[in-house]
Amino acid sequence: MNMIRTALVAGVVAVTASMTFSSANAAGDAPHAPEHHWSFSGLFGTYDRAALRRGFEVYNGVCAGCHSLRLVAYRNLMDIGFTEAEVKAIAADVDVPAEPNEEGEIEDRPGIPADKFKSPFANENAARASNGGALPPDLSLIIKARLNGSNYVNGLLTGYTDAPAGEEVPEGMYYNANFSGHLIAMAPPLSDEGVDYADKTKATVKQQAEDVVTFLTWAAQPELEERKRMGIKVILFLLLMTGLLYVLKRRIWADVH
């Protein structure tokens, strides 16, 4: 019995070690997302409103041609500083399907603030057909869907570079130092002066990446600032309650020696 128990323990240890080694290798294959300091990082972090507006400009001018943002409505833009008139103009700039008419036909109408962001493709098959079989992901929750999401997306957008000497890049693929495997089907989406910022900020690749990541982080976590404010209030309440309980305890046990 002792021999069997010993063999079982040895087997478990061997399997565990093998799994740990494999996991470590797998983790080592994926590049580490470069760290970046964000205005919304930390307990007291908040979204940079100017960066949010610029980030929308990058999304609308660059990303929206392939990537949807189906969980965000145009009216949500008022939460990051756009006026009602601006939102109405942005929404009206796209055509969306209207309700079926009396003949059952569906015609397009100008968008309104209550509409969700229009998808660039009618359906998944159309999206794949336009992208060589690849399906561009929806960006509504992309920051939450990736580990260390903000840094990951920022690293991906700024990681395009020439492949090292001797490494071949297949046709239709691109080399990205910050992408797992380093080969990616998405062409570099950003270029210097690729957008004209309304506030005249110089549109470098680095600046565009930071701005659109800030915007996408807000899209995925619009409640972030409120959640942090609530967290601070809870911490202050607990500190106050701790002080009151300590005073109460001293009063109750003051006569006990």
Which pLDDT belongs to residue 97?
87
Q: Is residue 184 helix, strand or coil?
A: strand
Taking only the tens place, the pLDDT of each residue in 220-244 is: 999 999 999 999 999 999 999 999 9
Where do the structural domains in the chain lie, given as residue ranges? 47-72+116-220, 223-251
Q: Find all residues with CB under 8 Å of 65, minimum gap 6, and list them.
A: 120
Q: Is residue 66 helix, strand or coil?
A: coil
Amino acid code (one letter) for 22: S
C-alpha Rg value of the chain to the nearest Å: 26
Alpha helices in the chain, H assignment, sequence order? 2-29, 49-61, 84-92, 124-129, 142-145, 149-158, 205-220, 224-252
List the CATH code of the domain at 47-72+116-220.
Answer: 1.10.760.10
pLDDT mean over 103-113: 89
Taking only the tens place, the pLDDT of each residue in 133-156 is: 889 999 999 999 999 999 999 999
Return mean pLDDT, the chain. Answer: 87
Least confident of 58-62, 101-105, 122-126, 141-145: 101-105
Least confident of 2-11, 71-80, 87-96, 243-252: 2-11
The residue ranking higher by pLDDT, 3 or 178, is 178
Contact 182, 164 (CB under 8 A): no
Query: Token pair for residue 92?
Result: 């009206």
Long-range contact list for 187-191, CB < 8 A, 24+ apart? Answer: 188/160, 189/62, 189/63, 189/157, 190/58, 190/62, 190/157, 190/158
Q: How would you class 204 by CB atoms within 10 Å of its CB: exposed for 0-12, middle for 13-18, buried for 19 or more?
A: middle
Q: 115-129: buried (b, 16+ CB within 10 Å) or exposed (e) per residue?
A: bbbbbbbeeeeebee
